[in-house]
Amino acid sequence: MKREVRLVIDGDAGTRAARGLDTLSDLLARERAAAPASDPCREGACGDCVVLADGVLVAACITPVLQLDGARISTFAGLCRDDADEAPRLVAAARALARFADDRGLFPCDVCRSGVLLAAALDASGASGEGTSALSSRVCRCSDLAELPPEIERLRRELGEAP
């Protein structure tokens, strides 16, 4: 039995059909070739499929679409677009980190790129919450994530204190 769900995905508002416990990953894969870039672990463990749902970081692979009715979904790719509809600090952090990663040749295989960089952008913009690091649970098998924390710190200073 299909139901209509209202969603805004990276600025694209509309109703989508969802059935039972269809996940957000299923929906994104159906709609967008671009996101998520990787085949998720489908157990919420790897963090590669994360997106923002009304500003809250969620694992798309285990989040039922029906629970997201009315939500604004932002993928990392969406955050990097000119028309991104998220906090300016977060958008600035996302773009700066995407440039940094590409300049340094991080994430050569691309599997974890968007999940790691979205977590890093939350940390850099101060949106992860006091004493919480979204990046700390991330793993990349191809590159050294130790390059990211100094850049996150630099961005935190550049962007100033969180409002």
Partner 1 sequence: MSGPCEVLAPFEIEEAVQLLAEIGEPVTVLAGGTDLMPAILSGERRPAAVVLDLGRMAILREIREEGDELVLGAAVTAAALGADPEVARVAGPLVAAARSFGSLEIANRATIGGNVMTAGAAGDLATALLALDAVAVLASTEGRRRVPVFSLLVGGGRTSAKPSELLVEIRLPRAGASGRGWFRKVSGRGGRGWAKVNLACFARDGSEGPEEVRIALGGAASGPTRLRETERILTGSRLDEACLARALRGIDGEITPEDDLVSSAAYRRTIAARLVRWVLAELARPEGLR
31 binds partner 1 (CB under 8 A): no
63 binds partner 1 (CB under 8 A): yes
Smallest separation (angstroms) from partner 1 to the CB of 158 = 22
- Count other C-beta atoms under 10 Å from residue 39's C-beta: 13
Name the residue among 141, 144, 137, 148 with its Cα closest to residue 45. Answer: 137
Give the binding-site size for partner 1 (rule: CB under 8 A): 35
Is residue 71 a contact partner of residue 7, using CB atoms and an 8 Å limit?
yes
Q: Return the residue of 42, 99, 104, 154 that touches partner 1, per CB under 8 A.
A: 42
1 binds partner 1 (CB under 8 A): yes
61 binds partner 1 (CB under 8 A): yes
Is residue 114 a contact partner of residue 37, using CB atoms and an 8 Å limit?
yes
**With respect to partner 1, which residue has the nearer C-beta, 55 or 108?**
55
Strand partners, 71: 7
Q: Output DSSP code: residue 130.
A: T
Within positions 93 to 132, which residues make up the interface with partner 1, using CB under 8 A? 119, 122, 128-132
Q: Return the residue of 13, 33, 43, 83 that touches partner 1, per CB under 8 A.
A: 43
159 binds partner 1 (CB under 8 A): no
162 binds partner 1 (CB under 8 A): no
34 binds partner 1 (CB under 8 A): no
User: Applying CB under 8 A, which residues contact partner 1?
Assistant: 1, 3, 20-23, 26, 42-45, 47, 50, 56-59, 61-64, 66-67, 119, 122, 128-134, 136-138
